[in-house]
Amino acid sequence: MKFSILAKLFSNLENTSKRLEMIDMLAEFFQDIKNEDHFEDLNKIMYLLQGHLVSNIKQFKKMGVAEKMIIEALSLHAGIGKKKIKNILVKEGDIGATAEILLTKKKKQKSLFDFGEKSNSEIESIDIAELYSQLRKIAKTEGEGSQDSKLGILRGLMSKISPLETKYLLRIITNTLRVGVSTQTIIDGLALGFTGEKETNRDIIEKAYNLHPDLGDITTLLAKKGLEEVKNVKITYKIPIRMMLASRVPYSEIITRLGTPCIAEYKLDGERLQIHKKGNNITLFSRRLLNITEQYPDVCQVIRQNVTAQNVIFEGEVVAMDPFYEKMRPFQVLSKRRRKYDVKEMTQEVPVCLFVFDLLMLDDIQYINKKLPERRKILEKIIKEKDELKLVKSKRIHSTDELLEFFHEARNEGTEGIIAKSIKEDSVYQAGNRGFLWIKLKGLEGGKLKDSIDVVLVGAFYGKGRRTGVYGTYIGAVYDKENDQFLAFTRIASGWTDEIMESLMEEINNYKQNQKPKGVICEDKPDEWFSPAMVIEIFGDEITISEKFSTLGYSLRFPVFQRVRYDKGIKDITTKAEIIQLYNAQ
């Protein structure tokens, strides 16, 4: 397939904000692929459709192409001065759109007597396989002379494609595709395009994706072997599955939701891990399904020595501990372990304990469809507890009074609160879902919000006085899952230290935009816009009705920054539906 066909799809998707129209466009695109049996590039197409070279779980390294290099390549390719390119870039806020504007204008101005090279209209585009190969070559090129090599490859690609294709090529390279299509929308398009039936079959595809989070692999399987094979997708060692999440309801409703008895577990202030043990080979995955094994060599070693099962997949929370393993320390301490260097020294400075709470697979048997008590019972048999490895504390609960008593106990032990869990027949592990089998409880204080909220930063205002020159106030947005949009929710101006403010500004400037990003709904007018990328956790007094943020209709009173959530993706943040639930819970 030619890249021009995919670029046209990108353009059509970008030019609509209606999800149903996007699904129809995708379905038609996939139907054409199916009719032509054009499957050899399908996995590459799926990755590029998500703006990546591979799925998240394969963790292919970034391109390493700075905006400065792109401007250089564009200048050499089109014979346009860098200053002119930068002026257009300031106006557009998007290097891809800038390239399309300049190259289209250059094409129109091209002299009729210039026979030296092909015009853009004569360019036949490039095969996706060739494009993909060259992009991987850019990503792999490193060391002395690598910048010149990357520049040469980039110029070569530009010479073979149209202005529209160049627009999306550069966006893929800078990881800012911006066509506004979510994974769920792609799955709906796959179901409709390949099976002709969306409502039922998308659930089958989504379930497979939750167990094997690689749309390239799942789509290729669907296209070549059909829906029945997709139904047979199972958990695989060393491939993470999407983690089950907890919902929130008022504490008085928890027992009604879960029934009695239920169980409650400590909710710990650490980093969630999914552990894959295959013999002595240990792989640790983060909540974002990234392989972070190298950050925790001590955890790997304690698992080898104290987990008796030969092959097993389970989940736990790694928590920073004091030197005597008597007291849990906050997440800010654990965050020191997020590094590639001096890892061994940091294991001594920040000792940790892995608290285990769920079982997903044992040998070749999947446990996700078994009841929680059965999963817990197996864990108790295969885990030899010691200071560095424990089962998370749990208690069987029969009433709201018992629930609150356990909550206070948990808080006194330095935890975030508790997670109440169903133990009924349907208490399965719902990979990738946020249902009501697990319910979290983090606060009871009168007049205070009952839980923290995760928002993505989409804008900022420069500070005044002591904060002159840095961002003093940020705009945080929550996620509208139904419409795949980020809705402005609140301004955050407190909770920062000077050090945090400076480091946050340095990091978030990588996502600066000159105009409001597509998919962001915000009635406010900040000094700077950012593409949704950085997630933070905030607390506040209460959720109020808002006129300022009228699309969402709610805001947060007295928001306070708590921490950056590197472990959460932008689609994992608090949703519009959860904000409404929290408001009603007040």
407 domain residue, yes or no: yes
Mean pLDDT of 149-165: 93
Task: Average the pLDDT over 492-518 and give the result.
Answer: 87
Determine, yes or no, domain membership for 65.
yes
What's the pLDDT score for residue 63? 80
Q: Per-residue pLDDT for 445 more than 60?
A: no
pLDDT at 30: 95
- In this structure, the number of other CB atoms found within 10 A of the CB of residue 195 comes to 20
Please give the share of the chain, as a percent, with pLDDT higher than 90: 66
* pLDDT tens-digit series, residues 19-74: 899 999 999 999 999 887 778 889 999 999 988 888 878 776 678 888 889 999 99
Smallest CA-to-CA distance from 211 within 100, 369, 1 is with 369
Q: Is 433 left (phi over 0), alpha (psi -120 to 50) or beta?
A: beta
415 and 558 within one domain: no
- pLDDT bucket at 10, cuts 50 / 70 / 90: very high
Flag whether 530 is in a domain.
yes
pLDDT recorded at residue 491: 95
Cross-strand partners of 285: 274, 291
- Residue 519 contacts residue 484 (beta carbons within 8 Å): yes
- The model carries a pTM of 0.86
State whether 164 and 197 are in the same domain: no
- Does residue 510 form part of some domain? yes
Amino acid residing at 185: T
Q: Which of 280, 268, 380, 358 is closest to 313 using CA atoms?
A: 358
Q: How confident is the model at residue 449 (pLDDT cuts 50, 70, 90)?
A: low
How far is 360 from 309, CA to CA, in rounded Å? 13
Instruction: Identify the band that residue 448 occupies on the pLDDT scale cut at 50, 70 and 90.
Output: low
Given the structure tokens 């002591």, which residue do they identify? Answer: 466
Q: In what order do the strands lie in the sheet with 262-267?
A: 245-247, 434-441, 417-421, 262-267, 394-397
Tokens at residue 322, please?
């004091």
Looking at per-residue pLDDT, the higher value among 105 and 301 belongs to: 301
pLDDT at 584 (0 to 100): 83
The residue from 441, 466, 482 where one domain ends is: 441
Q: Is residue 178 part of a domain?
A: no
CATH number at residue 562: 2.40.50.140
Does 190 score more than 70 pLDDT?
Answer: yes
For residue 498, what pLDDT band results from cuts at 50, 70 and 90? confident
Tell me the C-alpha distance between 522 and 551, whole Å. Answer: 8
Catalytic annotation, pick one of 44, 150, 198, 267 = 267
If you search the block for the tokens 């070279």, which residue do you land on? 53
DSSP secondary-structure letter at 57?
G
Q: Which residues pair with 528 in a beta bridge?
A: 460
Task: Kindly report the backbone phi and psi dihedral angles of residue 308, in degrees, each rounded to the nearest multiple of 5, phi listed first.
Answer: -80, -20
- Write down the pLDDT at residue 145: 87
Angle at 437 between CA 215 and CA 358, to 5 degrees: 70
- End-of-domain residue from the set 391, 420, 441: 441
**For residue 512, how many C-alpha atoms fall within 13 Å in the half-sphere facing its CB?**
17
Work out the average pLDDT over 421-447.
87
Same domain for 409 and 477, yes or no, is no
* Rounded average pLDDT over 369-387: 97
Task: Say if residue 323 is preceded by a cis peptide, omega within 30 of 0.
Answer: no
Kindly indicate the confidence band of residue 439, based on its pLDDT and cuts at 50, 70 and 90: very high
Say whether both 469 and 578 belong to one domain. Answer: yes
Average pLDDT of span 199-220: 95
- Quote the tokens at residue 313: 């997949």
420 Rama class: left (phi>0) / alpha (psi -120 to 50) / beta: beta
Same domain as 65, residue 153: yes
| Cα gap 435→422, rounded to integer Å | 11
Residues 280 and 226 both lie in one domain: no
Q: What pLDDT shows up at residue 541?
A: 85
Query: Looking at the structure, do residues 302 and 223 belong to the same domain, yes or no?
Result: no
Kindly give, in sequence order, each residue whose CB lies less than 8 Å from that of residue 360, ignoring residues fewer than 6 positions away: 235, 241, 274, 313, 314, 315, 366, 367, 368, 429
Whether residues 39 and 166 fall in one domain: yes
Residue 161 included in any domain? yes
**CA-based torsion, 318, 319, 323, 326: positive or negative:** negative
Alpha helices by DSSP H, listed for 309-382, are: 331-334, 343-349, 372-382
The domain tally of the chain equals: 4
| Length reported for the chain | 586
CA distances from 110 to 79, 103, 114, 149, 157 (A): 12, 10, 7, 29, 20
pLDDT, tens digit (0-9, with 9 covering 90-100), for 555-568:
998 899 989 998 88
Residue 549 structure tokens: 């943020």
The pLDDT of 257-286, averaged and rounded, is: 96
Q: What pLDDT, in 10s, does the model give residues 352-362?
A: 999 999 999 99
Give 112-124 pLDDT, tens digit per residue. Answer: 445 455 444 445 6
Res 161 pLDDT > 60: yes
**Mean pLDDT of all residues in 289-310:** 96
Per-residue b or e along 30-59, where b marks 16 or more CB atoms closer than 10 Å to that residue's CB: beebbeeeeeebbbbbbbbbbbbbbbbbee
Task: Please check whether residues 273 and 408 belong to one and the same domain.
Answer: yes
CA distance 519 to 174: 18
User: Can you tell me the mean pLDDT for 569-575?
Assistant: 90
Looking at the fold, whether 261 and 407 belong to one and the same domain comes out as yes
Mean pLDDT score of the chain, rounded to an integer? 90
Task: Please tell me whether residue 380 adopts helix, strand or coil conformation.
Answer: helix
Residue 414 is part of a domain; what is its CATH number? Answer: 3.30.470.30
214 vs 210: CA distance, rounded Å = 9
What CATH number is attached to the domain comprising 149?
1.10.3260.10
Comparison of pLDDT for 251 and 60, the residue scoring more: 251
Alpha-carbon distance 296 to 349, whole Å?
Answer: 13
What's the pLDDT at 111?
Answer: 46
The answer to whether position 36 is within a domain reads yes
Phi, psi of 143 (to 5 degrees): 90, -170
Looking at residues 242-260, what average pLDDT do you find?
91
Q: Considering only CA atoms, which of 483, 488, 447 is closest in space to residue 579?
A: 488
The 3 state secondary structure assigned to 430-463 is: CCCCEEEEEEEECCCCCCCCCCCEEEEEEEEEEC
Q: Which domain holds residue 567?
A: 453-585
Q: Is the pLDDT of residue 434 over 60?
A: yes
Do 158 and 97 belong together in one domain?
Answer: yes
First to last CA, the chain: 54
Structure tokens at 532: 């949704």
Residue 241 within a domain: no
| 137 tagged catalytic | no
168 vs 181: CA distance, rounded Å: 14
pLDDT of residue 170: 93
Residues 364 and 461 in one domain: no
Cα→Cα distances 278→19, 214, 391, Å: 42, 21, 20
